[in-house]
Structure 1
Amino acid sequence: MTEVRPNVTMIAAVGRNGVIGDGLTMPWHLPEDLKFFKRTTMGHPMVMGRRTFDTMGVLPGRRSIVVTRDTGWSHDGVEVAHSLQQALDLVPRERELFVVGGGEVYRLALPYAARLLVTEVEQSPPGSVTFPAIDPDTWVETAREAGTGFSWVTYERRDGARDAP
């Protein structure tokens, strides 16, 4: 059984239809949300898939850990893991880390996460990459702040709740 880790936070911008992208780019441009992402993740390690890294690159002031199946892949300034568990093991348990995408990494990380920071975008763009469904039996909304065309929403894992294996 997967163990929830109190230091794992998933952060994502998600359309009404669950879409987070098309595999190449983000389907929206929200400068306020990009600033939120920067100030929230600054100084913390970030875990992401290789395609997400390809769109973001190395972000200053944050440790980048890239999960990839490609054993030959490397990039300056990046730590490489070949599984999500290996990526999580690179960060001390007491240290907060952010899972920043993409869709497959979010699905793998959901059982470990204690908190979700979701920018609910008031759009339903086309796209093939989605965020996993947020099960209300597992997650409770604890904060909401409205912006222009979006809301920042915090979800906390319910006491004792676990995701299905």
Structure 2
Amino acid sequence: MKMTSIQKNISIIVAIAENFAIGKNNDLLFHLPNDLKRFKEITSGHTIIMGRNTLLSLPKWPLPNRRHIVITDNPDDVFPGCETVFSIDEAIKKVQAEEEAFVIGGGMIYRQFYPVAGKLYLTLVHKPFEADVFFPEINYSEWNENSREDLKDEKNNFEYSYLDLERK
């Protein structure tokens, strides 16, 4: 069963640089403690969906108070405390009855979910970064901006914004 229509309960949460960069060497590009707190607040009590590399990049998993769904193509993969699926369609089916589920990465998973996601929770860092993983280019005319908060990180000396977007 191919899921091609917008899935209103599927949300993407991601921190991106202005050049859509999201990662390098299976790690985040920048360390924003407030963004990590925001991630925890938004996703706590919900299901998070990710690829195997994203799970393995977490310092400790499973993350507390969240159901984990890991998408992998290796039938031998077993991740204690997580559910394993083999396609985005399978992941979408597992969260059909939920009010909101969050896609947390990585790049390939974001590319597959982007066309069907109903919401984007973006942390947009206002400078480019060198990276080997990128988020799909966002056509902002396809999204309504529900909220925006502009901030400055003194330690890293760059500005960033929290954007909550909903597909039109």
User: TM-score when scaled to structure 1?
Assistant: 0.91
Task: Output the CA distance in 2 between the equivalents of 1:87 and 1:18.
Answer: 25
Partner SS state of residue 75, structure 1 = coil
Q: Name the structure 1 match of 2:108.
A: 104
Query: For 2:129 and 2:46, how far apart are their aligned partners in 1?
Result: 30
Provide the residue aligned with 2:155 in structure 1: none
TM-score, length of structure 2 as denominator length: 0.89
Q: What SS is found at the alignment partner of 2:99?
A: coil
2:93 paired residue number? 89
One-letter amino acid of the structure 2 residue matched with residue 89 of structure 1:
K
Instruction: Indicate conservation of the 8 Å contact 1:19/1:125, yes or no.
Output: yes
- Relative distance call for 1:123 and 1:58 in structure 2 (3 A) is farther
Matching of residues 23-62 of structure 1 within 5 Å: 23-56=25-58, 57-62=61-66
1:126 corresponds to which of 117, 125, 130: 130
Using the TM superposition, give the Cα deviation of residue 153 of structure 1 relative to its aligned residue in structure 2, in angstroms. Answer: 0.5
Shift >4 Å, 4+ stretches: none
Looking at structure 1, the residues matched to 98 and 54 of structure 2 have their Cα atoms a distance apart, in angstroms, of: 25
Q: Partner of 1:157 in structure 2?
A: 167
- Range 30-39 or range 82-91, more displaced: 82-91
Aligned residues: 158
Shift of 1:3: 1.6
Within 1, Cα distance between the matches of 2:18 and 2:140? Answer: 16
Equivalent residue number for residue 15 of structure 1? 17
Displacement, 1:128? 1.1
Say if 1:7 and 1:96, in contact at 8 Å, map to a contact too: yes
1:68 equivalent in structure 2: 72
The separation in 2 between residues aligned to 1:102 and 1:49, in whole angstroms, is 6
Q: How far does residue 95 in structure 1 lie from its aligned partner after superposition?
A: 2.5
Give the superposition deviation at 1:156.
Answer: 1.1
- Tell whether the 8 Å contact from 1:52 to 1:102 is kept in structure 2 after alignment: yes
User: Which moves more between the two structures, 88-97 or 77-86?
Assistant: 88-97
Supply the AA of the counterpart residue of 1:21: G
CA distance in 1, matches of 2:17, 2:101: 23
Question: For residue 141 of structure 1, what is the aligned residue in structure 2?
Answer: 145
1:132 and 1:152 map into 2 onto residues whose CA distance is 18
Instruction: Answer yes or no: is the 8 Å Cα contact 1:15–1:123 preserved in 2.
Output: yes
Instruction: Answer yes or no: is the 8 Å Cα contact 1:5–1:93 preserved in 2.
Output: no
| Shift in Å, 1:142 | 2.6
For 1:154 and 1:104, locate their aligned partners in 2 and report how far apart those are by CA, in whole Å: 22
Alignment gaps of 5+ in structure 2 = 153-158
Per-residue deviation, 1:122? 2.4
